[in-house]
Amino acid sequence: MSFWWLNGFLLLWIVSVTSRKGDFEVRFESIETIKGRTETLFIYKLRLLGRDRLINGSVEFQVDLDETFEVSLESQAYKNGFWVPGFINVKIRPCEFFKTYYVKYFLVLPTESNLPMTGSEMCPFRKGDYFLKNGQVSTKDWPPIVFQGLNKYRITFLRNGNITGGVQFIIRIIEKETEQ
């Protein structure tokens, strides 16, 4: 079963690398904090403001997010009235998560922020309070094969198998119309 999944993933990756990059608009529909099972070490106090639903608020990391943690990233797409598994469902170490996924696909481009902006600044992601104002997701590196429509992403931070915090958000992805 995993052999076919790997072949399918490689085929989609080849198509996305050799195709033109997608040009998408992303609108946040919701964003919510995930609390820890026994303790919450990573607290998201974010809200969506304005007609453009820009991200505003703060993120509090009570400890360094170092390699003693795991990051679980689960994606789902809304198809025919149901949430179905998306292309990205991984459990990896934080440095790999930030370099492979966050910087390429989820990087928030704020007008004002003290959030680290590159993978090397995020490894390890240092303890502290971070803020962002009028943030939106950069779509410049997204392949043209992303699920358009509603997509749900759940990012959780785990230590010893226990959830210690995270964030879940739903976004609407629409391909921008190009002028001919």
pLDDT digits (tens, 9 = 90+) for 77-121: 999 999 999 888 889 999 998 888 887 777 777 678 888 876 677
> Given pLDDT bands bounded at 50, 70 and 90, which one contains residue 20?
very low
Integer Cα distance of 138 and 80 in angstroms: 27
pLDDT number for residue 12: 47
The structural domain count of the chain equals: 1
Is 180 inside any structural domain? no
Q: What is the pLDDT of residues 117-137, one digit of tens each?
A: 766 778 888 999 999 898 887
pLDDT at 7 over 50: no
Q: Enter the tokens of residue 120.
A: 């090397």
Q: Which residue range is the domain that position 84 belongs to?
A: 2-175
Q: Model pTM? A: 0.79
> Given pLDDT bands bounded at 50, 70 and 90, which one contains residue 19?
very low
Is 111 inside any structural domain? yes
Is 89 inside any structural domain? yes
Integer Cα distance of 25 and 138 in angstroms: 9
Is 148 inside any structural domain? yes
Is 52 inside any structural domain? yes
Compute the mean pLDDT over every residue in the chain, rounded to the nearest whole number.
80
Is 10 inside any structural domain? yes
Q: Enter the tokens of residue 104.
A: 């390429």
Is 18 inside any structural domain? yes
- CATH code (residue 80): 2.70.220
Tokens 């995993």 sit on residue:
2
Is 170 inside any structural domain? yes
